[in-house]
């Protein structure tokens, strides 16, 4: 499959002429979800879930469908009957020809005084894992880990230990909109040297064959 990185945590996966889009949120491009045959959303925070972008994608392609957790699904299901599917940890499904497994249940801890919301990660074609806003370790091998490198809920030591625990063949940075060109090399060096897996970062619009 071909991966295209969009801004922040949004990625597009293409295989056999069909397009799957994960987390076209408010920090991604306005058109990030357009053209999708299937959409996956990990959780309800606006940098991952933006209702207008999802509605635009579902309206543009009447055959497109959305898989997500309950807190997002209940907001869109009434307007798109039969096209919005609620999923949770342990579920498996086929979306636009991609085989998807769901792993994880909760968002990472931001602060003990902030209630945790639900969050799911998606393992696509038993190869690529997008964890959303959590450091979930899937109960299956991972070839390519979409790695959330910078967020209010993590620090680089946790990111490095996460890579070591998952043991992917390679990592590709996501959740990186808050990093400037000045500090990006620091993250690349430290995660690349200490994580134990190949580290890469695509700029928005760049592609990679997986």
Distances (CA, A) of 12 to 73, 115, 209: 20, 30, 12
Q: What is the pLDDT of residues 117-153, one digit of tens each?
A: 999 999 999 999 999 999 999 999 999 999 999 999 9
Q: Which segments of the chain have a pLDDT < 70?
A: none
Pairing status of strand 98-103 against strand 92-95: antiparallel
3-state secondary structure of 80: coil
Distance from C-alpha of 67 to C-alpha of 47, rounded to nearest angstrom: 17
The structure tokens 């999802």 sit at 54
Residue 132: alpha-carbon gap to chain centroid: 5
User: Of 102, 101, 134, 138, nearest to 117 (Cα)?
Assistant: 134
pLDDT of residue 4: 98
pLDDT of residue 21: 98
């Amino acid at each position: 499959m071909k991966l295209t990185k969009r801004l922040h945590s949004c990625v597009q996966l293409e295989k056999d002429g069909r397009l799957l889009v994960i987390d076209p949120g408010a920090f991604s491009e306005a058109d990030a979800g357009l053209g999708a045959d299937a959409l996956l959303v990990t959780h309800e925070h606006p940098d991952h879930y933006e209702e207008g972008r999802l509605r635009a994608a579902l309206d543009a392609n009447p055959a497109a469908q959305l898989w997500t957790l309950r807190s997002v699904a209940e907001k869109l299901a009434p307007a798109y009957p039969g096209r919005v599917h609620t999923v949770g940890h342990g579920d498996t499904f086929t979306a636009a020809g991609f085989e998807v497994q769901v792993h994880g249940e909760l968002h990472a801890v931001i602060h003990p005084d902030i209630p945790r919301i639900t969050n799911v990660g998606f393992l696509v074609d038993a190869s690529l894992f997008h964890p959303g806003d959590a450091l979930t370790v899937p109960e299956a091998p991972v070839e390519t880990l979409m790695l959330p490198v910078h967020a209010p809920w993590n620090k680089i030591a946790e990111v490095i230990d996460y890579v070591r625990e998952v043991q992917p063949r390679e990592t590709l940075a996501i959740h990186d909109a808050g990093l400037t060109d000045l500090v990006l090399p620091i993250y690349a060096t430290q995660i690349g040297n200490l994580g134990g897996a190949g580290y890469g970062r695509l700029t928005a619009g760049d592609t990679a064959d997986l």
